Amino acid sequence: MKKSTTVYTVMAVLALLCLGGSPAFAGWTVVSLHPAGAEGSCANGVSGGQQVGYAWFSGNYHAGLWSGTAASWVDLNPAGANYSKAYGVSGGQIVGWAFQSTYPPYEPEGRAILWNGSDGSWIDLNPALEGENAYYSKAYDASGDQQVGWATFGGHGTAALWSGSAESWVDLNPGGPFMSGGSWASCAYGVSGGQQVGWAETDSGRHAALWSGTAESWADLNPPGATYSNAYGISGGQKVGDAAFEQFGLDNYHAGLWSGTAGSWVDLNPSEATSSSATGVSGGKQVGFATIGSNKHASLWSGTAASWVDLHALLPAGYTESRAYGIDVSAGEIWVAGHADDEAMLWHYTPEPAPVPALVEQIQQILEFTEDSVAEGELEGVGPGKSADNRLRALVNMLEFAGYAIISEDYDMAWDQLTAALAKCDGQSTPPDFVEGDATRGLATMIEELIAELWEMP
């Protein structure tokens, strides 16, 4: 007999019951990404199975790329650069900065960099304004074909947006360049879906900022009552950062989440923490760090202060501080990039299968036993010609309907179907069996045991 489509459908539905949530720390692993020979390291961004950050060797910072293990480290430091760091990764794009010192009378300068994958190729994003090259620039995040960061002209930093080249640079500074009456300073840290977040200096201090591709689109996200604020990450309509309020002490900033305007602010500061900051967001999850006692702890939230999870608790004993900077959520899995003390760290959550209810497991075993027995020739229909196949199919249908009934918790229906199925394979002359073979008695016993379990159900 060919395996019926219906049996596969029932088995698929039963398999879905194996998926679900798990306790807070179940399914979590932590991997040190610290490269061999490095004096220290830090992971800043994560996306699509890749992590970026930097490590330092003999005091020199080198931008780097990982693929989930310390051994996968790839040194991205551009040829001729003294130092470099990578901050963000998306779709194979990696952004950061590189620094090359020159001899007097020239001053050191750092330039925003865009790497295309791990082959070492890179693009200098350092922009120019009115014929003057930026003295300093950095790129912090990438999404789609956009990159964000900041550039310094005349001693004032300005939020920057690029689309893959230095020439594509857009000045996001509210009001235009400082020299022309714009904000004293601004910076863009995150980008997603054509929007950018960061901060801008205003008459009343530093305020979290949201842009939509132009300086004129700037929107003030400073929460009501906040003295100052910053926005660091954006994804799926959510923005994260931190804010300071006088009632908590200006040094005790609080992690926060926006879903729209300044008034949408949600305070994420855990009750156990004196201060906190949210630096990354993805798939409705937020990461950052919280000050517990006198130490920073890498942290994970799900939209509220009460949802706080202390990721530091997942680390092996001996680490003093930790911070999380980047997060990627995909198909239920969570990757978090950060560091513990001076080691780059990757936290990874994989959903664990939920326990299969006993009744579901029993009917699943009966269905599997039936299919295997038919395939091995140990269970076949009784009767001449097509009537044998029809009787076998009828028995299988009863078991399938029992499976659907158990999934739906309709135990009366399951009882009726299983009782009818048992009568067709119990070896009694009345009513006559629909099947025969070496597996018949085993099948009847399994059905009897499940009926006994159903008897105990309310």
pLDDT band at 29 (very low <50, low <70, confident <90, very high): very high
Whether 455 has a pLDDT exceeding 70, the answer reads yes
pLDDT band at 26 (very low <50, low <70, confident <90, very high): confident
Which residue carries 């997942």 as its tokens? 314
| Residues above pLDDT 90, as percent of the chain | 72
- pLDDT, tens digit, 9 for 90 and up, residues 398-418: 999 998 888 888 999 999 999
Whether 18 has a pLDDT exceeding 80, the answer reads no
More confident residue, 82 or 167: 167
Residue 209 in tokens: 């900022």
State the DSSP string of 185-236. Answer: -EEEEEEETTEEEEEEEETTEEEEEEESSSGGG-EE-PPTT-SEEEEEEEET
Question: Can you give 406-434 as a three-state secondary structure string?
Answer: HHCCCHHHHHHHHHHHHHCCCCCCCCCCC
| Domain spans in the chain, listed from the N-terminal domain onward | 5-14+355-455, 21-349
Whether 360 has a pLDDT exceeding 80, the answer reads yes
DSSP 8-class letter at 335: E
Per-residue confidence (pLDDT) for residue 182, from 0 to 100: 53
Instruction: Give CA–CA dist 268/347, Å, rounded.
Output: 20
Whether 21 has a pLDDT exceeding 50, the answer reads no
Q: What percent of the residues of the chain are helix, what percent strand, and what percent coil, each to the nearest 5?
A: 25, 40, 35
CATH 3.30.465.10 fits domain 21-349: no
Q: What is the mean pLDDT of residues 306-322?
A: 96
Q: Is the separation of the CB atoms in 44 and 87 below 8 Å?
A: yes
- pLDDT, tens digit, 9 for 90 and up, residues 47-83: 999 999 999 999 899 999 999 999 999 999 998 888 9
Mean of all residue pLDDT scores within the chain: 89
Residue 122 in tokens: 């890179």
Report angle CA 344, 345, 349 to the nearest 5 degrees: 160
Q: What is the mean pLDDT of residues 285-296?
A: 97
Per-residue confidence (pLDDT) for residue 54, from 0 to 100: 98
Nearest CA to 197 among 236, 231, 147, 148? Answer: 231
Q: What is the mean pLDDT of residues 317-322?
A: 96
More confident residue, 106 or 435: 435
